[in-house]
Amino acid sequence: MVNRAVLAHQLFTGISQRHLACLIEELAQPWQAGLEGRRHAARGGARRRAAGAGARHQLVFVDRLVATLIHLRHDLPHAMLGLLLGVDPSTITRAITEVRMLLAERGCAVPDRPGLRLRTLTDVF
């Protein structure tokens, strides 16, 4: 498993640490709200345990965002990202799916081409 701070470096993600911090701040709350909404729907109602009880995420939101950015920038396979982060590739697949939806809702765009939205790897470059 690689040091997760190294994976968040601009060489891997393609964005500066300041921009990454802004993305984290902007997207963490909608991700948490979506997660709670999916859990509420799966349970069929309010939570039965106190907040904080139960299993922990193998990947916190920051790791999910970083994995998604690396995947979009370098097109690394989910199995390789899973190996780097020490989780199963299916965890990476779910994380990338969740975060890509958040990025799409945000309307991520290329700085010098404001009308272009990031939908494919070629759009990233």
- What token pair was written down for 115? 């009308």
pTM: 0.74
CA-based nearest residue to 97, from 80, 72, 116: 72
Tokens representing 49 are 């345990």
Query: pLDDT (tens digit, 0 to 9) for every residue of the chain, 125 residues total?
Result: 788 889 999 889 888 899 899 889 989 998 888 877 777 787 787 777 776 666 666 789 999 999 999 998 888 999 999 999 999 999 999 999 888 888 877 776 545 555 555 566 565 54
Q: Which residues sit opposite 109 in a β-bridge?
A: 117
